[in-house]
Amino acid sequence: MSTVTKNIAFTFSGLPGAGQIVDCAIPFAFTMPSNAAGSPFFVGVGSTEAAVFELSTIIGGTTTLLGSLIVDGPDVTASLTAVDAPADTVLRLLCPSPQDATLANICFTFVVAATL
């Protein structure tokens, strides 16, 4: 087995739906450092107020909250615990509800160490 860097991205063209859930099944084992250190985030149109997105893992049917991504204007602050996940983990992103009126065109890219 080898370890390589992979990117896992959640992208939104336009405004994310209020309370929208986006699941991404990851077919390989991976680790992600706390606060998603080294991961780039992009905000095309900033929020009017702070908008909180929640990131969770689903492993073997059990959902575990990793923390949040807070978008405040054009800035993103990640407050996430580190994760060491097996293959077939689902990453779940929960969008804010209600949604911010202006926040749009965003991308959260998580840089992970994948075990292949």
Output DSSP code: residue 101: S
The sign of the torsion formed by the CA atoms of 33, 111, 61, 65 equals positive
pLDDT computed for residue 18 by the predictor: 96
pLDDT digits (tens, 9 = 90+) for 64-110: 999 999 999 999 999 999 999 999 999 999 999 999 999 999 999 99
Mean of pLDDT over the chain: 96
DSSP at 38: T
pLDDT score recorded for residue 1: 80
CATH 2.60.120 fits 3-115, yes or no: yes
At a CB cut-off of 8 Å and minimum separation 6, what does 110 contact? 7, 8, 9, 32, 36, 39, 91
